[in-house]
Amino acid sequence: MLFDHDSAQNVRERAALKLPRPSEFIGPDDEPPPPITARTAGFGITPAEIAKWEGNTEELEAYDGFDGIARALKIDPQKGIDATPVDIKARRDAFGPNTYPLKKRTPFYMYVWEALQDETLMILILCAIVSLAVGLTTEKPSEGWYDGGGICFAIVVCVMVASLSDYNQANQFQKLSAEKRKIYINVTRGGHRTKVSIFELVVGDMVHLAIGDQIPADGLVYVGHSLIVDESSMTGESDPLPKDEEEKPFLMSGTKVLDGFGTMLVTAVGMRTEWGRVMATLSEDNDEETPLQVRLNNLATIIGKVGLSVAVVCFIVCVIRFLCQTNLKHFSSEDGRQIVEYFAVAVTIVVVAVPEGLPLAVTLTLAYSMKKMMSDRALVRHLSACETMGSATAICSDKTGTLTMNMMTVIRSWVCGKLREPTDLENISEGVRKVWQLWFDLSVFTSFWQLLFEAICLNTNASVEMHEGAPPEITGTPTEVAVLGWGIKLGGNFDRVKKSATVTEVDAFNSTKKRMAVIAKTEDGKAWIHWKGASEVVLAQCSNFMDEQGNVSPLTPEKLQELQEIIDTFANAALRTLCLACKEFPQNEFLARPPKKHSTIGPPIPEDGLTCIAIVGIKDPCRPGVPEAVHKCQIAGIKVRMVTGDNITTAKAIAVECGILTNGTAIEGKDFRNMSPDEQYEILPAIQVMARSSPTDKHTMVKRLLEMGEIVAVTGDGTNDAPALHEASIGLSMGITGTEVAKESSDIIIMDDDFASIVKVVRWGRAVYANIQKFVQFQCTVNAVALMLNFISALSEGAAPLTAVQLLWVNLIMDTLGALALATEPPNDAVMYRPPISKEAPLINNIMWRNIMGQGMYQLALLLVLKFKGIEILNLKDDPNAPPPPPRSAHAKPEGAAHEKLVCIIFNAFVFCQVFNEMNARNPEKINVFKGFTSNRLFMGVILFTAIVQALLVEYGGTIVSTIHLEWNHWILCVILGAISLPLAALVKLIPIPDRPFGEYLIFWRRKKHRKQKLLTRSGRSIKGIMFNRPPSATTGAPPAPKKFYDTAGIDAQGVPAGPPRRLSDLARRPSAERRKESLTGALSAPTVTTASTTEGGVLTKVLGSPPEPGAATEQAPLRRNSQAWAEEAPTS
């Protein structure tokens, strides 16, 4: 039996919760059971009663405060809920789930309806209806529906393809939105601490809160240590509010913890909270337009206007020529049908000319990139970040967890006046006592070990769970886990130490203070103050130290220097250092402290006169692959800077190991903070490491870099990183160690906290822009050829060579299918050997103009030759036995089978030209366009689908598509004419191009000094500015362009001597092989560290490519500001 409804365990659980037995459930003809309420489930309080006292302390006291609520909810605050499935279900049924209703998905027919709202399609539908009406009334019904029916079929295909694409993208965005809502939080259930999704929380859960957490439900504070909460999202109150378990115990769902930590009891969830009701009224907005989409929409508008002009001219010319040849006195319905056909062709030209595939291509490539980035462990929160990341010129990265593995272990320590080296613990067989003897002399330290364990086990917000026959399970930050693990290896018993002392006050750790403290009362009645934090910060508070005999001795300048040298020794070995210090708190001062033990307002914990008892060195190894990833960024022209709160010596050691610190400067946050803005501009191009930085220092650095014209990506994981993440061009938060505040302020969440994943995001960001450029090149070529072919044919013959149905098929090829093929190209290694894409770079660059003109001239010349001389060249003849096809109008010249075959050959050759040109568009720069061809199955599928459908249309389309059967030699001819595009493209790519943008050579776009006003669009932008992405002029009210800065001389981003000053364009013209060779040379050069003092007394550290001459003085060379990271230069000695 797989499930026994009447098992003893189920019977006991149901009896305890007063639930009915399975046999008591309703049958087919029974009445429905009454709904399960909090009372029927055995709880002593209902949701309605909870709602009454929420926010009201007096009402809460009527229920006997927190203890009374806990009893009513049947929970033990120390152990949490029972966590059995029956208990969780009963709580969810009685108090509701912690969810809110989401908006229903938009049905597919709505996407079809939206696609039909396109104005040109509506006009085309009208043309199809008129064509059907005229055809069915003037011809046999079996033949009269061909033209109108063909247009209708083509419209249905276009609408369905576009609707399916939009529908699939919407589903993809919804899946990503669901991924963004996955938040896990620590709770205590059944006496064990575990992580659960916020949607699985139930009333009665004991939730552990830390800095940066989003409060997942309404509740009461059980324990709060310096707990500060931001309730601005719910109350509008901008000032953070302190919370404690006595005066202000109420916590609201959706608010955020800014400081401190604590534990809360969940009292209301889901739609019974104000946050749930607000979220139910909101829907996920997936309609944001990215900057690239805006640029493409402007370009599409301009191309559409050109196409509309061509269509109007074609229609007018065709109608005038037709009316001149028609006897208006005998105007027949057939003549009216001919005018309708001209109008349909004109409308179809507009449909073909309007590149609606451009926005579709952006949507496809962004959605595809987001999906692939998710598999690369990067969750995109804002679409614009995908493309902005491709333009990044600087990355300011954290160290811990991003560049390192965040797996910390204490490997060296200074304890009680002696340096303790690590010992191989695998050979120990006598247990913990033997381990202790290896580290200490018990005859000396019998009175010291308890004090050390108190410093380790009391001054922490981590927890330890002991399991019989298994290693202890430590939960907390990596630093806390490392220190606690060290203490346990030395023989400490976490639970025993916790029970032997009572913590009365806590000063929680944050990145600004870089330390934390507790006041604890021990079993002997004494009170102790324990401090722990950054070594130099805590050591500065010490007046004494404990020597090797266990005595407290004064901390003399000589001893202080010795300890500082030990800290430097640890730091030079790339170890993070922590200092543990304590002092006995006099009884009179301890008793005089405020009685509220967890108050956030009161006198600070004393921090002077401490005794240093231990300094530990924690190893956090560099992540595998980080040096290679950093090197790739440097080759790509991206300056990587490490911003960390660690000691400057530790930071330099890690930076050298990661390949970040090459020929630049390491600086401390306080020195950078004390500089003027001009001095910060001067030093920033050379800075590669900022140590002991505060969140304000990080924000200032990002702000200054943005002012210098950089595109800055910033990583962050803490609450205090939110301003820098918000200020940066792209904010990258950490998915594992990142707080919810940091994630909400970021654009992309790095799910595995790995720097290598950031490099993958850069690759995809550059691929987005590259794919759009590929599609724009392909689209513009097809548009230009189709428009010019129809325009010339209309002027010369008064008729378009391609019918409406044929043009709609071409439109489907170049819009939807072209977007599918080119917008989903995966990134290749070549994108990381190019400089970052400037925000002012033209969307259509000179390379694209060269390719468009080369392919466009070939296709147009080919089709015009076929149009006017095709019958003679191909030796096409009419079949004398076949009746001639009916003329298009009464005055039109009769057209034989040779002409019909020529029209079919032109249509077939034109389509195959686009098929092969689509292959050329895969790589606008390289001659070999087939590299990686088989890796993109979607591209291969689109090419194969296009060729197969084209063959079916030609062979079986008949009158509907205006095609006839072609012999095999004509098929080979069409394929060869299309395939000539491949060698032609290779030859065109050999043509050199100028550095000056092509648009500036056009007289229409030249800026003339005597011209006072420019031709503006409705948006206030010049056409030239839209086409080539120039910034708005001063007349539009836009701010001026940022000031650019350049270095005088030095080295480039890879550490290669730069020689005289060079601009970005000079560097960008260097061959890729040369840049790679120089980058490799710079990466392999051995750095040497020298030091120079600033006027503020701080220390700046430079890593120069070669050691200075013996006895030579080290000087700080003057720097100038630089706006481009590609040519980053630093002073040389």
Active site residues: 398
Query: Do 1078 and 1059 meet the contact criterion of CB atoms below 8 Å apart?
Result: no
Match 């269509």 to its residue by tokens: 311
Query: Do 1080 and 1056 meet the contact criterion of CB atoms below 8 Å apart?
Result: no
- A 10 A CB-CB count for 1004 gives 8
Q: Note the residue count of the chain.
A: 1133
Instruction: Name the pairing type of β-strands 730-734 and 748-750.
Output: parallel
Q: What are phi and psi of 771, to 5 degrees?
A: -65, -40
- The enclosing H or E element of 228 equals strand 218-230
Taking the C-alpha atoms of residue 262 and residue 280, their distance in angstroms, rounded to an integer, is 29
Q: How far is CA 367 from CA 162, 392, 509, 828, in A?
A: 15, 20, 40, 18
Query: Do 1101 and 666 meet the contact criterion of CB atoms below 8 Å apart?
Result: yes
| Helices (H) then strands (E): counts for the chain | 42, 30
- CA quadruple 291, 296, 299, 305: dihedral, nearest 10: -120
Taking the C-alpha atoms of residue 797 and residue 805, their distance in angstroms, rounded to an integer, is 20
Taking the C-alpha atoms of residue 79 and residue 660, their distance in angstroms, rounded to an integer, is 47
Match 């576009």 to its residue by tokens: 162
Taking the C-alpha atoms of residue 427 and residue 425, their distance in angstroms, rounded to an integer, is 5
Per-residue tokens: 1106 = 């070669």
For 657-693, the three-class secondary structure string (H helix, E strand, C coil) is HHCCCCCCEEEEHHHHHCCCHHHHHHHHHHEEEEECC
Secondary structure class of 849 (helix, strand, coil): helix
What residues contact residue 351 under an 8 Å CB cut-off, 6+ apart?
A: 120, 121, 124, 807, 808, 811
Query: Do 243 and 229 meet the contact criterion of CB atoms below 8 Å apart?
Result: yes
> What single letter denotes the amino acid at residue 28?
P
Q: How far is CA 1083 from CA 632, 1051, 1080, in A?
A: 11, 12, 5
Query: Do 820 and 934 meet the contact criterion of CB atoms below 8 Å apart?
Result: no
- CA quadruple 783, 789, 794, 798: dihedral, nearest 10: -130
Taking the C-alpha atoms of residue 262 and residue 569, their distance in angstroms, rounded to an integer, is 36
Q: What are phi and psi of 440, to 5 degrees?
A: -135, 160
